[in-house]
Amino acid sequence: MKVIKKNYLLILVGLFLFSCNQQSKTPTQIEAPVAKKQEKKLIQHGHERIDNYYWLNERSNPEVIAHLEAENAYANEMLKSTEVLQSKLFEEMKARISEDDKSVPYFLNGYFYYNRFEKGKEYPIHCRKKGTLETDELIMLDVNVLAEGKAYCGVNSLSVSPDNKILAYGIDTVSRRQYQIRFKDMESGTELRDVILNTEGSAAWAADNKTVFYSRKDTVTLRSYQIYKHTLGTPVQDDKLIYQENDETFGVYVYTSKDEKYIIIASSSSVSDEYRLLKSDNPDGEFTIFQARERGLEYSIEHYNNEFYIRTNYKALNFNVMKTLDNKTSKENWKNVMPYNDSIFTEGIEIMSDYLVIQQKVAGIGNLFVYHLKSKKSYGIDFEEEVFSADMTSNTDPKSKVLRFSYTSLTTPTEIYDYNLETKERVMLKKTEVIGNFNKNDYESKRLYAKASDGTLIPVSIVYKKGLNIQSGQNPTLIYAYGSYGYSLDPYFSSTRLSLLDRGFIYAIAHVRGGQEMGRSWYDDGKLMNKMNTFTDFIAISEHLINQKYTSPEHLFAWGGSAGGLLVGAVANMAPQLYKGIIAEVPFVDVVTTMLDESIPLTTGEFDEWGNPKDSAAYWYMLSYSPYDNVKATAYPNILVTSGLYDSQVQYFEPAKWVAKLREMKTDNNLLLFSTNMDAGHGGASGRFQALKEYATQFAFLFMLLDIKE
């Protein structure tokens, strides 16, 4: 914020000149901001690229700030006719939310924990009750108070000392994901003097109630690379460095095992993991390696009853569950808990007394599988819908035989259940309330398959309101996708999405390769030198929906954020004729230049995702799809691009450069709007209602293009 304030006068001058230039012009006559061209030669492998907008990466340059502000002013002006509609959309989305909502309490170490919201307030209030839910409430942390006077406030990783007296939490007021760790005395309500800067936000408590372990970030790359030990009441500058990760493709974090017996340091890259262990009752001891890192060996661990349970790809492409004794942790000692099935993708595990609960995917559909460790008997938990998501939630007691899970689908708001693993009795604890006249039976969802160019069938989940002429060829349709890092886009309910469905939209989730919906090979076939599959899969789904008369190019829209922004950016170059419009949120569009700059956050840790362009083959392959490098003189769809000035995941200058080059090259008169949140980062606004305003703007953009005015 200092940069903005320091150069406020220059920004005002720029905006004044921009405003004067637009006076008396109608929206169709208003001229978009034009970024100056300043040639920058980039040479790699003997190949020269000219980047005329490289200068936009100077965050401290007042001319850059003035340009971003001018783009914001232009976007606001071009969307001015939708202001009433935006306000209506915001109010209708807000009206569906229970403003005084409350989470389902979970029990941990003698207390019930939950969070709640109060009417009109943006942030949660974190609370607990001792012993029973009938006792008096203690407010542990009111994030609304922390957020007072701040444009952004993000809080994460609340953890309480084993004696229940001290709360540790992370707070970020810049949206750069550089969290402070703070501590609060639960008995007196006072904040301790201990404040630890530049961390991931989480603290792992030792059993002595005064020692915590935490990860510290590199101030330039923001890579978590060090683990420190802090003793409450001592100067932070005296904290002891416990471990430093020198391999720049790895990041580190630290946590306490579920049974609280171990402090665990995890070092992880895209393709390898390594863990270190220390008994939590011996905080001054030395950590020991669980299993040394090996390239390609991925594993995660949890401890219970003198054994470690391991989710791993060791001899199992789609991951398996293994276990070993405390004192024999190297992989030659690992034993299968149950036979490996290559057709099942194991996503996660939960240890529950005599049971192991496994979150898995079969043919792209997620489910929960229960395995009795002693009898070796097993069963799956049944769910009724065709397209749904079921996830294990706050299971804090490893001795419990009651599993807590959440259930949702494209038509079903999230439901929270307690499930007795012995009796199979299921008790609904909460059903997310959608205020108004919502009825899940008014909507329908299904799964379709589109054939990719190589013959692979690509799943797509769709939802729409019943009564819609589903194959009229004229339905407005919005396709959302991500397709990277093995992140699966499972179907889930969104009350915000109802503002689309109730206006006749089909909403589609494209399960393209690069995610893990269909197993590990689905991810491998959409990364590195197979990345092009992600984009062609999305195009195949778009063509399928058009060919099957669900929609048409005049009614079809693409939407993606971050790596999903890369996806829609690449698709905009490859098949612009298929879409009426595109929404690209915080898009990763300058792939080659970013991956060549190891000072940019995330770069070194993602060579195994995208490739290292210092390798010639990787360079040319990445260059073939990089959205910024492939902008050309052609007609593009209408495009809305968003960014955050403090984004640590995708730097603001990537979309800024992309928009500038698109303005220079495109041959159409379609809208190209660029909006930068000057107070936020990758996730946008931090408040629950402020985020709705961003959706309202995006939806109004779509509606304006379709002449939907109400």
Q: What is the pLDDT of residues 411-464, one digit of tens each?
A: 999 999 999 999 999 999 999 999 999 999 999 999 999 999 999 999 999 999
Instruction: Check: CB of residue 352 under 8 Å from CB of residue 401.
Output: yes
| pLDDT(13) > 70 | no
The arithmetic mean of pLDDT across residues 469-480, rounded, is 96
| pLDDT(302) > 50 | yes
Strand partners, 677: 644
Q: How confident is the model at residue 23 (pLDDT cuts 50, 70, 90)?
A: very low
| pLDDT(687) > 90 | no
Instruction: Check: CB of residue 607 under 8 Å from CB of residue 249.
Output: yes
Q: Can you tell me the distance from the alpha carbon of 319 to that of 360, in angstroms, rounded to the nearest whole number? A: 10
Lowest-confidence region among 516-530, 583-597, 608-622, 639-653: 639-653
Of 1.10.10.10, 2.130.10.120, 3.40.50.1000, 1.10.1270.20, the CATH number of 153-296 is 2.130.10.120
Q: How confident is the model at residue 312 (pLDDT cuts 50, 70, 90)?
A: very high
Q: Can you tell me the distance from the alpha carbon of 283 to that of 275, in angstroms, rounded to the nearest whole number? A: 17
Predicted confidence at residue 600, as pLDDT, reads 85
Predicted confidence at residue 29, as pLDDT, reads 60
Q: Which residue has the higher pLDDT, 229 or 26?
A: 229
Torsions phi, psi for 333 (to 5 deg): -95, -5
Q: What is the pLDDT of residues 240-277, one digit of tens each?
A: 999 999 999 999 999 999 999 999 999 999 999 999 99
Helices 8-22 and 62-78: crossing angle in degrees, nearest 10, is 40
The arithmetic mean of pLDDT across residues 386-400, rounded, is 91
Predicted confidence at residue 19, as pLDDT, reads 40
E strand or H helix that includes residue 595: helix 591-596
Q: What CATH number should be reported for the domain whose range is 2-94+446-705?
A: 3.40.50.1820
**Coil, helix or strand at residue 621:** helix
Q: What is the DSSP string of 179-246?
A: EEEEEEETTT-PEEEEEEEEE-S--EEPTTSSEEEEEEE-TTT--EEEEEEEETTS-GGGPEEEEE--
| % pLDDT > 70, the chain | 95
Average pLDDT of the chain, as a whole number: 93
Predicted confidence at residue 648, as pLDDT, reads 80
Lowest-confidence region among 4-8, 264-268, 300-304, 353-357: 4-8
Predicted confidence at residue 14, as pLDDT, reads 41
Predicted confidence at residue 684, as pLDDT, reads 67
C-alpha closest to that of 682 among 39, 175, 306, 326 = 175
**Coil, helix or strand at residue 379:** strand
Lowest-confidence region among 230-239, 491-500, 677-686: 677-686
Sequence-distant (6+) residues with CB within 8 A of 293 are 267, 272, 273, 274
Q: What is the pLDDT of residues 84-118, one digit of tens each?
A: 999 999 999 999 999 999 999 999 999 999 999 99
| pLDDT(184) > 60 | yes
Instruction: Check: CB of residue 658 under 8 Å from CB of residue 587.
Output: yes
| pLDDT(4) > 80 | no
Annotated domain spans of the chain? 2-94+446-705, 109-149, 153-296
| Burial environment of residue 271 by CB neighbours within 10 A (0 to 12, 13 to 18, 19 or more) | middle
Predicted confidence at residue 8, as pLDDT, reads 32
Q: How confident is the model at residue 1 (pLDDT cuts 50, 70, 90)?
A: very low
C-alpha closest to that of 392 among 405, 383, 401 = 405
HSE, CB side, 13 Å, CA atoms: give it for residue 580: 21
Q: Can you tell me the distance from the alpha carbon of 569 to that of 672, in angstroms, rounded to the nearest whole number? A: 13
| pLDDT(636) > 60 | yes
Show which residues are catalytic: 562, 647, 682
| Burial environment of residue 88 by CB neighbours within 10 A (0 to 12, 13 to 18, 19 or more) | middle
